[in-house]
Amino acid sequence: MPLVATDYTLDGDEKPWSSPRSVTVEQHRAAHNTLERLDAEIVPCTTEWLSGRIATLLAHFYVADTDPMFNRAVAGDWLKAMSGLPQYAVAEACERWLKEKTTKPKPADIRQLSISIVGKPWIWQQRLREVVAAPVQNEGQRRAAPYVRPPHGSPEYQSQRGRIDEILKRAGITP
């Protein structure tokens, strides 16, 4: 079975990913530090190199004689789809495509193949970007202490019970 990749999963991932709603200061710091290390390892290719590599790849397939503005728009789509990917992965994906496929690739084909070449570090990098972007909790936003019922018969219990009975009475319910 071929490896299927998207920005956030690789085929066979144990469970789907969902972004955190918020993170603690410690989680944010750890994610930021790890992301910095991954960013140093997974360096995006330059636009100039990518433009040339994609043009070379597509030159192996039929290219209709179209308006130059249309060609620029298509090139822009390729550049957007491939942005952020490292040069070694795009180069290998293009080489594999040329060796193994006979059809003209679409941007998603080469993107998915490139992501699968980078593997888990790409997935971690994308997920860490979302963790770093998540709102950071203030110290006061930590979970509130669980409710502890006052002891039966205590003044607090009697006060709560009186308020509850009053609310039920107004609602037409006899306690």
Q: Check whether 32 has a pLDDT greater than 60.
A: yes
Alpha-carbon span 73 to 32, nearest angstrom: 35
For residue 9, what are the contacts with CB-CB under 8 A and spacing of at least 6? 16, 17, 123
**Length of the chain measured in residues:** 175
The whole-number pLDDT of residue 88 equals 96
Numbers of helices and strands, H then E, in the chain:
7, 0
The whole-number pLDDT of residue 115 equals 94
pLDDT bucket at 134, cuts 50 / 70 / 90 = very high
Q: What is the pLDDT of residues 136-147, one digit of tens each?
A: 987 655 555 556
Q: What is the pLDDT of residues 95-113, one digit of tens each?
A: 999 999 999 999 999 999 9
Listed by start position, the domains of the chain span 25-141, 148-175
The whole-number pLDDT of residue 2 equals 37
Name beta bridge partners: 11.
none
As a whole number, mean pLDDT of residues 78-82 equals: 96
The whole-number pLDDT of residue 171 equals 73
Query: Contact at 8 Å (CB) between 17 and 129?
Result: no
Alpha-carbon span 94 to 54, nearest angstrom: 8
pTM comes to 0.67
Name beta bridge partners: 23.
136
The proportion of the chain whose per-residue pLDDT surpasses 70, expressed as a percent, equals 85
